[in-house]
Amino acid sequence: MVPPSPPSPPSSPPLAPPPLAPPLVAPPPTFPPACVWSDCSVEYLNLAETNSNLKGFRGGFVTDTHAYYVPFNNGALSGYAARVSLSDFTSSGVEYLNLADTNSNLKGFYGGFATDTHAYY
């Protein structure tokens, strides 16, 4: 004969989840007032003035020190990659190389990215 099992403890109601904290909301950022077009200045750099093959880029990316332009098509698929020093945004800050000089297939890229030491197209 099996002894009767002890009575089970009274069941307690399930615990309710803790109430949700209100979401944290940052105040909207404060931007400087927009300038009037006549008072604004825009810096630009025509890379093709440095080398006529430096045109037809498709995208770009930036590191702490340079802006990189992704070679795509300057009339034909291009391998001319360019970068501009962010501390010398003039034609003297432009560096370029034709990747297709290394391998004729290295042209017509669709984007890129950089690591601490390399740029990838």
In tens, the pLDDT along 81-95 reads 999 999 999 999 999
Cβ atoms of 82 and 69 closer than 8 Å: yes
The pLDDT value recorded for residue 83 is 95
d(CA 121, CA 115): 12
The pLDDT value recorded for residue 29 is 58
The pLDDT value recorded for residue 20 is 57
Q: Is 38 helix (H, G, I), strand (E, B) or coil?
A: helix
Cβ atoms of 61 and 114 closer than 8 Å: yes
The pLDDT value recorded for residue 16 is 63
The pLDDT value recorded for residue 57 is 93
pTM: 0.66
Residues of the chain with pLDDT under 50: none
What residues does 17 pair with on adjacent strands? Answer: none
- What the block records as the tokens of 3 is 């002894």
Max alpha carbon distance in the chain (Å)?
A: 102
